[in-house]
A and B are shown apart, each in its own frame.
Chain A
Amino acid sequence: MRNPRAGFGAIELVIAMAVSAMIIVNVTMVLRTGAKAQQSGAFAMNLENQVEQTMERISLAILSSDGDSLALPTAPFSSDTIDYQVSLGVQGGNVVWSDPERIALVPGAGQVRWSRSPGTPDEQTVVWSNWLPDFLEGENGLNTMDDNANGLVNESGLAFDLDRDLVTIRLSITRQDEDGNTHTRTKMVQVTCRN
């Protein structure tokens, strides 16, 4: 019979520690992989949401504008700026229009900025999005060709073009995750001005 006061042998201890370490390492790896996958998924989802929300804001602003007053080029040319006014209602039989508003890509800063009364002392500005590239996804920008086969030439990260009363909006957002991998999402929406 074994002596009840006997301890663990060195070999037993080493084996137990090794097995415990393996278990801990595996569990940690599983946890890290899971966390990483979740982070990656969340990152992609956030990027997608950002593109959606930015596009939603731009679309709703243009929906309320007067289509006849938009000065935009037609494809294959585009503009990274749109100036418009939205209807505030009717008073005295006449449509009341808002102060001039502008949505523009600020190159270099990679921002989409909305401004009210641009260029005036009363100008108000809100940044709607960051991380816009200078050129739309797939667009080289250094030639005069339609590199991404979307019908536009050298379009910027935010591009507007007009076809009668249909405004086409293209938007790309590019971000880097923690591992330094670059992710890009691009969205295109066509809206018809309601006024």
Chain B
Amino acid sequence: MSPYSVPTRIPRAARRGTALVASLIVVMVVATLGATLIQVSNAITRRQMTVIDTKRAFYVSEAGISEAFLAIHQGKSGNIAAPDEPAVFGDGVYWVEAETDPTGRITLRSTGLVGRGRFSLSVVVERQINPVATLGIFSDEDLVVGEDTIVDGYDSSLGAFESQLDTSYSFDTTGAGAVLTSNQDVILEGSLLPLPLVGSPTGTRIFGDSSPGPRCVTSIGSGAVVTGATAPRRERYQAGEVELPPNSTTDTIDHGGRSPVVLTGPDVGYASITIQSGSTLVLQGPATVVVQSIELADGAQLEIDGSNGPVRLFVTESLNFASGSNVSSVTRDPRDFSTFVTSANWFRDGPQMFELMPPGSEPDPVSPVHIQADGEYCGYLYAPYSRVVLPSSLRFFGAVAALELDVEPGARISFDAALASADINQLGLPQLISWRIVDLPPQPIVKSGLGPNTYLQQQGVTPVPSSDAAIEGFVKVVYRDLSGQVQEYTGDKGSMDWSQVTQVVTQKWSTTLGGL
């Protein structure tokens, strides 16, 4: 054959073979296996992500509880956002539903959603109010009520005492609402006069309940009447510590002038305050006053002005309102004035010795609290380590708690039920009663298999910021501004300039403007 011959094409028939088919089959098998492995891996990853999302949803749910706690502390209902417009927190959303029962306890149900994770928690909380105020007229030792004493109750949140009188009585009384409580016995001293009628102004009248301590009794003397229950309590009450503000107490006031001395402000502190005869001390709220000793001489006057905010008085050594001094209140609202005495009974012969003395033991203890003033005391008195004697000369509206409490014969006391829900000592966050995990609510966003952000996007809903998610949109707030002046604002919370606030005195929240 010639070396220059042109090569010819290989005939098609000669090019038949199965290598391509075989290799295609192998590739398909490998691809199928690979796809299967990817699917399995994805399933495992998805399951792990669901576990992670569920854990994150748990923490978001707990964040909702925290937000509701803060809202309740601020006086709101505890409702945060809603299922159809939840609050955003990190990568997830949540909402909290609050329900208050007749006892005042609040059940919070918080639902958190993150990705595919869902979690729901339920807690029961109690507003952290001053629980001692609910005990009314309270004594840790025996509570002794002198003869011809009248004790009743009212609610200052509903109006003045005079507007709640029961006119069926021949004397001023509401005819109900008294609360006497003790960790020991309640002793109602009898009268030597003939047995009077219930409607009579003579004889001791307790228009309400008397609750002695566990396995103790209410001793009802001749002529004394208790219109309510007298069953003993199941548990003793343990008085709580007083949290003393860190106000400096180095200055002294010894005032004998005609013009009144006015004390106001959050950081007022004195070593001693002495008001001489004919002079006046005005405690003007909002004010927190810390004093080692305070004394009103015969003829001196103490005026509590809570018009702009509450007054809190802390006494660390002695409180002495001499006979002939006078106490009055501008607002006559017990929620506007509270007195905390942190000192304890001390030996007569050794004022330097501050020791608690059981009553009746020798030598007799001397109480750091001495009240013989007249006028009206409208407020809350808390002296957990001292003996207190409520004089008959002083008309008492409010509540009192003392180590030993004696009520002089002929005294007149009205317990204010509104103190039980008032933020007297500006205590902290609500108290947790119960915490548990609950079933998820049957909401569409929960049942949806989508992540909450995707679901809300499809619904055209933008979740609200967590800090702004409480349902109460209107506020009435009394506050101190940057110059220290007391101001008040009522209206939409978004329009309030919070940067001007240095101290919040009181605040009230509502879902409507009329609710304020």
Residues of A within 8 A of B (CB): 27, 30-31, 34-35, 38, 41-42, 45, 49, 52-53, 56, 60, 63-64, 86-90, 93, 95, 194-195
Contact = CB atoms under 8 A, between A and B. Distances in A.
Nearest to B107: A90
A89 B124 contact: yes
A125 to B, nearest CB: 21
Interface in B433-492: 433-437
Given A52-B51, A56-B51, 8 more contacts: A27-B30, A42-B40, A49-B47, A64-B435, A89-B124, A93-B103, A95-B124, A195-B432
Contacts, number: 54
B44 interface: yes
Nearest to A93: B103
B51 A93 contact: no
Interface of B: 26, 30, 33, 37, 40-41, 44, 47-48, 51, 55, 103, 105, 107, 122, 124, 432-437
A86 B436 contact: yes
Contacts of B432: 194-195
Contacts of A42: 40, 44
A49 B51 contact: yes
30 contacts: A34-B33, A34-B37, A35-B33, A38-B37, A38-B41, A42-B40, A45-B44, A45-B48, A49-B44, A49-B47, A49-B48, A49-B51, A56-B51, A56-B55, A63-B437, A64-B435, A64-B437, A87-B435, A87-B436, A88-B436, A89-B122, A89-B124, A89-B436, A90-B124, A93-B103, A93-B105, A95-B433, A95-B434, A194-B435, A195-B432
Contacts of B51: 49, 52-53, 56
B44 A90 contact: no
Contacts of B434: 87, 89-90, 95, 195
A31 B435 contact: no
Contacts of A41: 41
Contacts of B122: 89
A52 B52 CA distance: 10
> What's the dominant secondary structure at chain A's contact region?
helix
Given A49-B48, A89-B124, A194-B435, A31 B30 contact: yes
Contacts of A49: 44, 47-48, 51
A42 B39 CA distance: 12
A24 B469 CA distance: 65
Contacts of B30: 27, 30-31
A90 B100 CA distance: 12
Contact of A27 (B26, B55, B103): B26
Contacts of A38: 37, 40-41
Nearest to A60: B437
Given A49-B47, A49-B48, A31 B436 contact: no
B427 to A, nearest CB: 20
A53 B47 CA distance: 11
Q: Which of B30, B122, B435 has the most chain A CB atoms inside 10 A of its CB?
A: B435
Contacts of A27: 26, 30
Which 5 pairs of residues, A with B, have the shortest CB-CB distance? A194-B435, A90-B124, A87-B434, A87-B436, A95-B434
Contacts of A34: 33, 37
A42 B48 CA distance: 12
Nearest to A30: B30
A90 B122 CA distance: 11
A27 B27 CA distance: 10
A38 B103 CA distance: 60
B433 A90 contact: yes
A181 B179 CA distance: 74
Contacts of B37: 34, 38
A93 B33 CA distance: 62
Nearest to B44: A45
A189 to B, nearest CB: 11
Nearest to A41: B41
Nearest to A37: B37
B43 to A, nearest CB: 10
B245 to A, nearest CB: 29
Contacts of B26: 27
Contacts of A35: 33
A93 B434 CA distance: 11
A27 B37 CA distance: 16
